[in-house]
Amino acid sequence: MSTEQKSEFTIELTAPDISAYKTGNRGIEYVTTFDSGVEGPHALVSAVVHGNELCGAIAVDHLFKQDVRPTRGKLSLAFMNVDAYHNFDPANPMDSRYVEEDFNRVWAKDVLDGDRDSVELRRARAVRPLIDEVDYLLDIHSMTITPEPLMMAGPIAKGRVIAKQVGLPETVISDAGHKAGLRMRDYGDFINPDSHKNALLMECGMHWVKESGDLAIETAYRFLDVLGMIDPELAEKFGPKTLPQAQRFVESSGPYTIKTDNFRFNEKFSGGEVFDKAGTVIAHDGDEPVTTPYDDCVLIMPNLRLRKDESALRFGRLIEV
């Protein structure tokens, strides 16, 4: 990473010390489950799927330190890609997203059951029994260049329904993820329309800004409150003080996957831009222009890491929910 790239980032958050949570109580390191003894769902709040996204660790650490316990069902708190997280260095904050491969691209069953090996796959296989067990997942993330928080609600209607119940942030993205591999929020029954299981992936805004840590905490308490699993006083104290008057739902038609080693945007995009006309040129991939596929096209999460075979951004259209 160049000095110029390093200077672009301001690190306002401190990575919490999570060593006290290593042993857990599930036989899986950094995983703890609290059982209320009362019938109800099993909810999971997940952090550091990407090791340099500190806001999720801050939220889970907050739930631990406030001794949050479920009033019904079970609550699991988990730190996922801990090897990458332990490598976080504020001087090189982009370098610890993962160790060998993206933990959030390995969740296809054939990949998990296959012969491939990596630090991330070993960890995914270790936590897989927990993911198989839970009914509701909140997976907390942050972003590189998109300042507006986004709720990633998955490709089917039930994800949009629970996103609307949670009620924040203002923009909800309904999408199928990335060509490079399946996200944890899209694993198994989370995207089975006939299953009650459901998942949300919260992008709390930009990496390392104070607001992303604050929103991660608020979202975790709001999620558990919507499920009726925590004391309402806790939800009132630590959840969002206000909710957006209305949410904007954007359905993604899919990502644009980079084809060459020379992809560049025509200008600096941060996400959320709307282009009136189909065919508007927004980038070039080698010599090929990249154009908007339809009228009123919304640009979703443009990527700073412009590498061949990875997503440069996603295209979307506004929908009613």
pLDDT digits (tens, 9 = 90+) for 38-69: 999 999 999 999 999 999 999 999 999 999 99
Q: For 3-238, which CATH superfamily applies? A: Zn peptidases (3.40.630.10)
- For tokens 């998942």, the residue is 199
Q: What are the start-end ranges of the E strands in 80-223?
A: 136-143, 150-152, 171-174, 198-206
Q: What is the pTM of this model?
A: 0.91
| CA 174 to the chain's CA centroid | 13
Which of 190, 165, 163, 182 lies closest to 174 in space, CA to CA?
163
214-262: pLDDT as tens digits: 999 999 999 999 999 999 999 999 999 999 999 999 999 988 999 999 9
Residue 28 tokens read as: 């899986």
Mean pLDDT computed over 30-43: 98
**Contact yes or no for 23/183 (Cβ under 8 A):** no
252-319 is classed in which CATH architecture?
Answer: Beta Barrel (2.40)
> H-type helices in 75-181, by residue range?
82-86, 109-112, 119-133, 157-166
pLDDT digits (tens, 9 = 90+) for 196-216: 999 999 999 999 999 999 999
pLDDT per position as a tens digit, 283-318: 999 999 999 999 999 999 898 778 899 889 989 999
Mean pLDDT of the residues in the chain: 94
Token duo for residue 122: 């070993």
Q: Answer yes or no: are the C-beta atoms of 247 and 193 closer than 8 Å.
A: no
Q: Which two tokens stand for residue 284?
A: 């070039």
Q: What is the mean pLDDT of residues 15-31?
A: 98
What percent of the chain is modeled with pLDDT above 90? 88
The domain ranges of the chain are 3-238, 252-319
Give the C-alpha separation, 239 to 197, whole Å: 23
Q: Please calculate the CA angle 141-147-148 and round it to the nearest 5 degrees.
A: 80
**pLDDT exceeds cutoff 60 at 2:** no
Q: How far is CA 316 from CA 147, 248, 251, in A?
A: 18, 12, 5
Q: If DSSP codes are grouped into helix, strand and coil, which group holds residue 100?
A: coil
pLDDT at position 4? 35
Q: For a pLDDT cut of 70, what percent of the chain falls above it?
A: 98
CA-CA-CA-CA torsion sign (79, 248, 176, 270): negative
pLDDT band at 31 (very low <50, low <70, confident <90, very high): very high
Give the Cα separation of 300 and 279 in Å (integer): 17
